[in-house]
Amino acid sequence: MKMNQTILSYTEDCIRYQFNNKTFLLEALTHKSFCILENRIIPHNERFEFLGDAILGLIMAEQLMFLFPQDNEGMLSKKRASLINQETLAEKALAMKLSEFLILGPGEKAQGSHLKPRILASALEAIIGAIYLDSNFDTVKQWINDEFKNNISEIKPDLEYEKDYKTRLQELTYKIKIGTPIYELVSTTGPSHDPEFLVALKIGTHEKARASGKSKKIAEQKAAQIYIDELAVLMKAQLNHENNNKQKVKLGKTNVK
């Protein structure tokens, strides 16, 4: 299995790491569906993915331990999960253009699997494993810290982090029967290593809020929070109006007597 040297160099530019051993990069990009076609055994990226997942989890855990010394194990686990979930990793893989370089079997290609979040996230973890094997722990740690610094900076240190605004909004809109929230990606701006995602929140065809963030998930949570706050104001105003009407009715009945 070979890849054009120009493509390899471009891939390295996109991920911002130059491999000493190019076969590590090739293996990290090779999905197991490609290997099924060959009569001989060809390495694919699942072993690198296994290694990269462990390294990423360790480094994020260490970062969070130092950044949030007041947090217990449960809170730290939640914060780490938000940093390295499939959606976040897939977005980073897309920003690095990994979807353009994945080596897939024809069946997976036909299904557009190069854009599937699971495959993209796995490829990014495989890249992390490959960088570690090609260099050392300090190098891969620095690479991860550089790539995730914006995500880490957006994590809140207080209990606000525990609030899942999307879930709360879903429950609220169901309760007051106004429709189901829909989140649409409006645009992605900024350089590939530091993208900004703009998301619109809609109820039916009506846009209710917009928000941006370093990941779609963060932007969606922000948009949900904005709309929850707006609904709270509207519901409070409506409640005050109803209470005033009730008071007027009571006064009217008193006057009649």
- Are 187 and 152 in a shared domain? no
- Are 177 and 104 in a shared domain? no
Name the percent of the chain lying above pLDDT 90.
Answer: 48
* Range 198-219 average pLDDT: 92
- Are 111 and 210 in a shared domain? no
- Per-residue pLDDT at 62: 96
For 110, the domain range is 5-156
pLDDT at residue 244 is higher than 90: no
Q: How confident is the model at residue 159 (pLDDT cuts 50, 70, 90)?
A: very low
pLDDT at residue 110 is higher than 90: no
- Are 52 and 87 in a shared domain? yes
| Total residue length of the chain | 257
* Range 223-251 average pLDDT: 78
Which residue would you say has higher pLDDT here, 212 or 238?
Answer: 212
- Are 62 and 146 in a shared domain? yes
pLDDT at residue 161 is higher than 80: no
- Are 28 and 147 in a shared domain? yes
- Per-residue pLDDT at 167: 87
- Per-residue pLDDT at 255: 57
pLDDT at residue 21 is higher than 90: yes
- Per-residue pLDDT at 185: 94
* Range 159-179 average pLDDT: 81
Which residue would you say has higher pLDDT here, 235 or 98?
Answer: 98
- Are 43 and 149 in a shared domain? yes
* Range 19-33 average pLDDT: 92
Active-site residues: which are they? Answer: 53, 125
- Per-residue pLDDT at 81: 85
- Are 18 and 130 in a shared domain? yes
Which residue would you say has higher pLDDT here, 245 or 38?
Answer: 245
Q: Which CATH number does the domain housing residue 178 bear? A: 3.30.160.20
- Are 148 and 216 in a shared domain? no
User: How many structural domains is the chain composed of?
Assistant: 2
Name the domain boundary from 133, 156, 179.
156
Q: Which CATH number does the domain housing residue 95 bear? A: 1.10.1520.10
* Range 132-160 average pLDDT: 87
* Range 230-244 average pLDDT: 78
pLDDT at residue 112 is higher than 90: no
